[in-house]
Amino acid sequence: MEPRRSSPPLLLLLLLLGASGFFQSYAVEVDVKDASNATCLYAKWMMRFLIKYETNSSDYKNATLNLSSGVTHNGSVCGNDTQAALLAVQFGEGHSWSINFTKTNETYQGEFITFTYNTNDTAVFPDAKRKGPITIFVKDTMHPVQLNNVFVCHNTDFLEAENVTQIFWNVTVQPFVQNGTISKKESRCRADMPTSAPTVPPTIANVTTAPTTTLSPAPTTAPKPVENPDTGNYSLKSGNTTCLLATVGLQLNVSQDKPHLINVNPKTTTADGACGNTTATLKLNDGNSTLIGFTFVKNTSASVQKFYLKEVNVTLLNHLNGSVISNADNSNFSEWDAFLGSSYMCRKEQTLKINEDLQVHTFNLWIQPFLVKANKFSTAEECFADSDLNFLIPIAVGMALGFLIILVFISYVIGRRKSRTGYQSV
């Protein structure tokens, strides 16, 4: 059975048209039937892919791959107590995506996502150096869901691996459907959970018409300055061992269209990434519209080994529809360097320029991407700005004391001259 597809609502379409570029997206609905023609797996969702690929000139470009209108779901499997359920879709010029679900006696959850993109699709990947299908595997981050509950997540979610960022929103899915009927019980993702009382929009019923009067214009007030961001604590593990530690406050300076500052909220930000022998990557996802990646490398060519920040990439999304507002990266950094076995610290504000329209400001930074021991930072090497401050304080105190000594000496000399003048002979 072919999946049913619905066009995006008018509001979503207007938001997409108003974004930095026009992206044609389709909400895909898949209803998989069993042998008795009863629904056994149901899903409806929207997704988009951001892919970084190499061109024939050996530089890199960013491509956006959207679901096309001609989506099929060949190979989807209902699943049972001994076999995983599989949701598989095919779209465009040789692209495909799938996720498998396993279950226990009480719950189900997604296990692995498989995504294949075909660089022979020249409309999406012009001048691609590597031709043909490329497949990546990603472990799904979905938490266990109670059986006979439908999983719902309207907020944007990200998965990143091997130069591919997968973006999902408006997700509704239920594998292992019982008795062919989609459940009315919902299990919501964490991002959909309300954090404060919702604002009730005005309606005809709750708006009181006030008498018409002439009012003086309200006084113009200066915009409130954006405060420094809160400091977050992040870590990565390799098995049961902590392999990366980071403490930092992050602020984005976006000058595209209308300049503004965005503070990254550590309370809603999760850390992901990987620790390797020569590289380490920390990815921070605020769960709403920002994805920031920091890549560190070891300098093994020198006699004394050090690490440093090599690359930063930032993706900003419209949290209402998942459209890309900005996608930028800079892989030419050589910052935050320290000896291996040490950590790097900089309490002062630092600025990382990604491109002309985007900067990342860091505050209270303390980072160690390699050789973490006992879940604690090693001895820190401080940045020049912090050490410069430490040098200035004793210098200023020394200069003040020196100036005071000079004043005392001058007063002493003047006093001696006056004393001699008083004893001259008449």
If you ran DSSP here, which 8-state letter would residue 192 be given?
G
Please say if the pLDDT value at position 139 is more than 70: yes
Residue with tokens 């006093």: 415
CA dist., res. 65 & res. 345, Å (int): 39
Regarding predicted confidence, which is higher, 334 or 399?
Answer: 334
CATH class of 4-191: mainly beta
Which runs of E-coded beta strand occur in 203-355?
A: 232-238, 241-254, 260-263, 270-275, 279-285, 290-299, 306-317, 324-330, 335-339, 343-346, 350-355
The predicted structure's pLDDT at residue 16: 36
The predicted structure's pLDDT at residue 95: 93
Please say if the pLDDT value at position 160 is more than 60: yes
Please say if the pLDDT value at position 99 is more than 60: yes
Q: Which residues pair with 291 in a beta bridge?
A: 285, 315
The predicted structure's pLDDT at residue 364: 95
Q: Using pLDDT thresholds of 50, 70 and 90, give the confidence band for residue 199.
A: very low
Element holding 4 (H helix, E strand):
strand 4-6
**In this structure, are residues 228 and 219 in contact, taking their beta carbons and an 8 Å threshold?**
no
The predicted structure's pLDDT at residue 70: 82
For the chain, give the percent of residues with pLDDT over 90. Answer: 42
Comparing 4-191 with 232-382, is the CATH topology the same? yes
The predicted structure's pLDDT at residue 402: 75
Nearest to 27 by CA among 39, 12, 49: 12
**In this structure, are residues 78 and 84 in contact, taking their beta carbons and an 8 Å threshold?**
no
**Structural domain spans, the chain:** 4-191, 232-382
pLDDT tens track for 269-313: 889 888 988 999 999 988 666 789 999 999 877 677 899 999 999
The predicted structure's pLDDT at residue 195: 53
Please say if the pLDDT value at position 212 is more than 60: no
pLDDT tens track for 4-54: 333 333 333 333 333 333 344 568 889 999 999 999 999 999 899 999 999
pLDDT tens track for 347-388: 999 999 999 889 999 999 999 999 999 999 999 999 987 765
If you ran DSSP here, which 8-state letter would residue 211 be given?
P
101-110, 195-204, 402-411: segment of lowest average pLDDT? 195-204
pLDDT tens track for 213-269: 444 454 555 555 678 999 999 999 988 899 999 999 999 998 866 678 889 989 888
Answer whether CATH 1.10.3370.10 is correct for domain 232-382. Answer: no
